[in-house]
Amino acid sequence: MHSITDSQEQQAVRQLHSKVDQFFDNFSLGTLLNRAGIRKLRGTSPIRLLKSIFMLAFSQENFFRGIVERKQEFGKDAAYALLQGTNYNWRRLLLQLAAKIVTVFSLLTEEPKRKVLIIDDSTYERPHSRKVELLTRVHDNCRKRFTRGFKLLTMAWSDGYSTLPVDFALLSSRDPEKRLWDEERQLDRRCCAARRRKEAVTKSTDLLDGMIKRIMGSGIDFGYILMDSWFAFPSIIRKLHQHRPVICMLKDIPSIRFRYQGVSRRVGELYRNLNKRPGRARILAGATVELASGLPAKIIFVRHRSTKNWLALLSTDLELGEEEIVQTYGKRWDIEVMFKVVKHYLNLEKEVQMRNFDGLIAHATVVLIRYCFLSFQQRMDNDERALGSLFYACAEEIRDITLLEAFQRIMTLALDKIRQLGEFAEDAVRRIIDVVMGTACHMLLSPAGDGRNKNILTAS
């Protein structure tokens, strides 16, 4: 019995290694490493080192057990040198890989408007660390408390079916007095490491425009930019609208005002002055307004399922219907699933205990490449349209999320408001989130199928 189980486990390990090798070969990871300036100086090749670190999460080992303690073809110094190189452009590596995968996914979703770019940030915790470079105290918006760590500002591409991280910034505090440990060394300002450190102490909203320009410059296309209310300020909306239409959730705060019928109103005042739709309509009201800059936008108010409150969504695309706004914004849920997976399954926060900021950037990139691998594998195994010849004969595109699904996603994203109202115990809310997120993560990480959809790469 044990021999049968061992044999099955060994076979599963071989299949996993085979799929990882195929992923690295299909997307020419060796070439992408070279383009990113990550080249062999001596000893083991970078592609061999990257693959060894890449596999740690799937073998349920951390960096110390899997690299430092285990006898490898290379020494631990080689692995540390790879992660801590100051001239290695890890951002370019992730962006070029994502662009290649997006090219494959785009063959399956022809309508550009279904593709979105999602902006969000999440807490990167290092609660027990002290001497980590640029370590600071950050506020965890989900747990409503401060912790040690960083903010992980991330942009992800989605077509409603698959999600890919395309760029990220690891952020510390702009105030030197709030940083628990400052930079460890002086660097040439032209190198990648110095630019990343400068970026880390820059206001997050000041980075958005440059990140989007890089993403579009790499050939990644999308129809809309989605973001949470944390970023939904008129100046940011106006700047990002220059690239693509913006859809975001709004906060009802005095500093955010819109002009409607010649009067400047905050979101709550606008809602009170609109005629509400009768009955149990999901979309309560809508209006076309102007931002302070004069940019026209459409605001719709969505009924909150669990409370008597409402949620406000803004779209700078005036031609987009109200239900389409809700459906499109519902895709923002995809990045929440991604954060859950990279933290709890791909070991973003716990795999390495490096103190060097370059090492944190490199490791975060490797973790996001793992997610790209899982997303690609899930798409190839589950999407019938990925069958080479069948793809061209299939006229029906991937089913977009329904209006009901979009409402469910938006309501889940608004669970923090339930906490504020105190209508449910915190444990109950956390269980709801864990069940939903756990199910989504299980679907993403489910065992691969029979590999029948490999031909899409040759078809593309």
Q: How far apart are CA 446 and CA 429, in angstroms?
A: 26
Q: Which residue has the tokens 């060894």?
A: 52
Q: Residue 73: what pLDDT?
A: 75
- Give CA separation, 169 vs 195, 201, 229, 265, 357, in Å: 11, 10, 19, 34, 12
Length of the chain: 460
Q: Which residue has the tokens 């027990």?
A: 128
Q: Residue 439: what pLDDT?
A: 56
Contact 308, 415 (CB under 8 A): no
Q: How many other C-beta atoms can be found within 10 angstroms of the C-beta atom of residue 198? A: 11
Which residues 6+ apart lie within 8 Å of 211 measured at CB?
155, 167, 169
Q: How many other C-beta atoms can be found within 10 angstroms of the C-beta atom of residue 426? A: 12
Q: Which residue has the tokens 């980590």?
A: 132
Name 62's bridge partners: none
Domain ranges of the chain: 1-84, 85-459
Q: Residue 452: what pLDDT?
A: 46
Q: How far apart are CA 343 and CA 370, in angstroms?
A: 12
Q: How far apart are CA 379 and CA 376, in angstroms?
A: 5
Contact 262, 344 (CB under 8 A): no
DSSP letters for 381-433: HH-GGGSHHHHHH--SPPPPPPHHHHHHHHHHHTHHHHHHHTSS-HHHHHHHH
Q: How far apart are CA 37 and CA 90, in angstroms?
A: 9
Q: How far apart are CA 378 and CA 34, in angstroms?
A: 27
**Which residues of 10-81 form beta strands (DSSP E)?**
none
Arch. (CATH architecture) of 85-459: Alpha-Beta Complex (3.90)
Q: Count CA atoms within 13 Å of residue 205 on its CB side.
A: 14
Handedness of CA 286, 292, 297, 299 (dihedral sign): negative
Amino acid at 229: S
Which SS3 state, helix, strand or coil, does residue 156 take?
Answer: strand
Per-residue pLDDT for the chain (460 aa), expressed as one digit of tens each?
Answer: 455 566 777 788 888 889 999 999 999 999 999 999 999 877 789 999 999 999 999 888 888 887 877 777 788 888 889 999 999 999 999 999 999 999 999 887 766 668 999 999 999 999 888 889 999 999 887 777 888 999 999 999 999 889 999 999 999 998 888 888 887 677 888 899 999 999 999 999 999 999 999 999 999 999 999 999 989 999 999 999 999 999 999 999 999 999 999 999 999 999 999 998 887 788 999 999 999 889 999 999 998 776 678 999 999 999 999 999 999 999 999 999 999 999 999 999 989 888 999 999 999 999 999 999 999 999 988 765 554 433 443 334 444 566 666 656 665 665 555 555 555 555 555 565 566 555 555 554 554 444 445 555 544 4
Handedness of CA 333, 339, 340, 341 (dihedral sign): positive
For residue 54 the two structure tokens come to 């890449």
Q: Residue 282: what pLDDT?
A: 87
DSSP H/E element including 237: helix 234-241
**314-330 burial by CB neighbour count: b if 16+ within 10 A, else e?**
bbbbeebebebbbbbbb
Amino acid at 337: V
For residue 454 the two structure tokens come to 């490999």
Pairing mode, if any, of strands 246-250 and 310-315? antiparallel
Q: How far apart are CA 207 and CA 309, in angstroms?
A: 33
DSSP H/E element including 10: helix 2-26
pTM for the whole structure:
0.84
**212-225 burial by CB neighbour count: b if 16+ within 10 A, else e?**
bebbeebebebbbb
